[in-house]
Amino acid sequence: MSLDLHIFRTLSDNAGALIFDPVTKACAAVDVPDAAPVLAAAKAKGWTISDIFVTHAHHDHTQGVAELKEATGAFVCGPADAADSAPLDRILGEGDRVELGNDSFEIWHTPGHSNGHLTFASIGAKLALVGDVVFVMGCGRVQPGQMGAMWTSLDRIMALPDDVRLITGHDYTLSNARFAIAMDPANAALKARYAQAEAAKAEGRFWALTTIGEEKATNPFFRAGEAALAAAVGKAGAAPGEVFAALREAKNTF
């Protein structure tokens, strides 16, 4: 794990994220909900932002990109549909690669939450930037008619090795944990993580970093293939994608 990470709160619950290569000193900001706290975080760490990685076009992830680029001269890359809200220097799509220092990220098109949503995945760095597809113990809202696409995106991310770290787009951790425990009440690992989420909220700690292995153990949407989750939404014996859709609909009204 050659890359250093710094994850912090921006706006009310958005994640600010900086990725730093200590060898080359390259530093990427992941999405920019608000330029000021990102600049302050980089200054506090002594890092100079060289790149901006945009996962998707939603305004709360792009509204600070122009200001941050103007302040730093950073090279901005992201999906084509973000070009209207962020000054992209390079448009990325499925199968492209992006370098940061000595590491490389493969670009995956992971739609469902938004049409052009991208995931930046690096097996070597054990890191994936998943935007609003995955949250700690949760997943993003799904566009109308896009449940199948969202499940395909999640299923692809779930296939990453268990030790891959995920930088997610928001801290909805406690509300996600409450839904997860309601769906999967016998899950011992989830009970422990739910207690951790309550403690983090009480202490004001920001929580938007997780791993594939932790999500496999506790995230109901990652566990859509488990019989207990299928039963919880009245879908015993159904395909995981169908169970996922039922779980997501249940979360919408939880």
Write out pLDDT tens, residues 215-239.
999 999 999 999 999 999 999 999 9
User: Rounded to whole angstroms, how far apart are CA atoms 227 and 239?
Assistant: 10
Mean pLDDT for 158-163 is 98
Tell me the per-residue pLDDT of 48-83, one tens digit each, with 9 for 90 and over: 999 999 999 999 999 999 999 999 999 999 999 999
Measured from the Cβ of residue 48, the count of other Cβ atoms closer than 10 Å reads 14
> Tokens at residue 86, please?
């962020």
Q: Tell me the pLDDT band of 2, cut-offs 50, 70 and 90.
A: confident
> Tokens at residue 197, please?
């989420």
The one-letter amino acid at 119 = T
Tell me the per-residue pLDDT of 7-29, one tens digit each, with 9 for 90 and over: 999 999 999 999 999 999 999 99
Mean pLDDT of the chain: 97
> Tokens at residue 145, please?
């008619």
Q: Tell me the pLDDT band of 1, cut-offs 50, 70 and 90.
A: low
Measured from the Cβ of residue 46, the count of other Cβ atoms closer than 10 Å reads 9
Cα–Cα distances (Å) from 217 to 42, 123, 158, 180, in that order, read: 33, 20, 11, 11
User: Rounded to whole angstroms, how far apart are CA atoms 32 and 60?
Assistant: 8
